[in-house]
Copies of this chain bind each other. A is one copy, B any other.
């Protein structure tokens, strides 16, 4: 199973490609912006492809040729300029969805934000609301496709080492979750087709990732 990781050079992305390459039956193709970012992934034995998410859909579709699944984990983050919020978090995500359709890749895993419902846009502080709105529209666009999607809504991301234990569901109180555990959740999601057409929030917890993801 080959997986295109869009946003591979991000913090979740690097962890995800590492985990993918550790599994015999999984292989990563890391989509990166600059050739200089390639060595990290080449040392893991992963393929790399250099594509600008602010470019055209065709070049993303070309990068996706022949993979079995696409994971979108690129993100300008909530603290970059709002121009990047539009160009990466909104338009980059939606172009990747369109590229999946164009390349005929059905399986699509979107790493979203903790709460992207309309009410969350209204409730967010003014500086954060545009990011939530961008993620709302990206998720909404994906839901309206025929793709085999899963939307993962992680809590507050932290860099502490993961525990392999989480809580997943909907309408959770926001809590922290290790990026390492989010990467493990993505792996479990790729391995469980029962997650297709579903979405869930993830925070740190007490249940094993494997068991939680099997029954979301």
Q: A90 in the interface, Cβ–Cβ < 8 Å?
A: yes
Residues in B neighbouring A129, C-beta threshold 8 A: 54, 83, 86-87
Indicate with 1 or 0, residue by residue over A57-68, a CB within 8 angstroms of chain B CB atoms. Answer: 100000000000
Determine whether the beta carbon of B81 is less than 8 Å from that of A121: no
Q: A55 in the interface, Cβ–Cβ < 8 Å?
A: yes
Kindly state the separation between the CA atoms of A127 and B85 in the bound complex, as whole angstroms: 13
Determine whether the beta carbon of A86 is less than 8 Å from that of B87: no
Q: A49 in the interface, Cβ–Cβ < 8 Å?
A: no
- Least Cβ–Cβ distance between A26 and chain B, in angstroms: 33
Binds B, one of A130-138, A168-176, A179-187, A190-198: A130-138
Q: Tell me whether A90 and B133 are in contact in the complex, defined as CB-CB below 8 angstroms, given that A82-B85, A83-B126, A83-B127 are known contacts.
A: yes
Of all chain B residues, the one with the shortest Cβ separation from A119 is B56
Residues in B neighbouring A82, C-beta threshold 8 A: 81-83, 85-86, 130
Q: Which residues of A contact B (CB under 8 A)?
A: 54-57, 81-83, 85-87, 90-91, 94, 118, 121-122, 126-127, 129-130, 133-134, 137
